[in-house]
Homo-oligomer: A and B are copies of this chain.
């Protein structure tokens, strides 16, 4: 694992940093693999309750796939298919991670960076953040799985505008399109993302995991199995439910244990 993507833990919150600030955290092959590996590690760590993904340097969340690298890694269809496996691995590792993931968006969030942010569950950005997927200027196409989060989470109209018009656009448009949960002054993005993560971590962790799992499940129209329906009620046999119910009655703050 490279320090181009690194993981820090602070109690039950993990922070994953895309760390190539001199290239606005543009993603190379090592970084896609690193992001996926770290998210898999986070997924397996059941002590965690929330993950923040951010970019180093304050100027960008991520400028997307590193185009300078394309001469070798994406020079033709054959190499692009291999590269596609890596982006799919990175994107999927966020969506499949059992813990909620907050995108802390400082500055630029475009192309593959926008894809990473779309896979997150909550997006916080600054007033000067910019968004877009201007790949049409490269003669490039987002493959189905790369654009799926855009379509499933923001709708076909938003995906059409982002990909056909191809602009890099400001926060006013991001709000209109429903891309972000909260916009704050640039110097408060980190603190606000942290507040969201702490608020999520204060809730019952199993509730968060089941909610995330069930919401994404409902995007798939395949009928629910009996086992899946049954899982919707597992929470009532957990210790944390007893903790939560007692705290509610006693008007105290619940302390959850994740079991």
Contacts and interface: CB of A to CB of B under 8 A. Distances in A.
Interface of A: 67-68, 70-71, 74-77, 79-81, 84, 100, 121-122, 135-148, 151-157, 159-161, 163-167, 175-176, 178, 181, 196, 199-200, 203-204, 206-208, 210-212, 214-221, 224, 228-230, 232-238, 240-245, 247-249, 254, 256
Q: Which of A211, A243, A254 has the most CB of B within 10 A?
A: A211
A138 B204 contact: yes
A140 B217 contact: no
Given A204-B136, A241-B140, A156 B160 contact: no
Contact of A207 (B136, B200, B210, B215): B136
Given A80-B236, A138-B244, A155 B156 contact: no
Nearest to A254: B137
A164 B208 contact: yes
Contacts of A137: 203-204, 244, 247-248, 254
A194 B154 CA distance: 26
Given A77-B237, A80-B236, A208 B136 contact: yes
Given A156-B215, A156-B219, A121 B164 contact: yes
A111 to B, nearest CB: 12
Contact of A224 (B135, B139, B144, B211): B144
Given A70-B245, A100-B164, A164-B121, A256 B203 contact: no
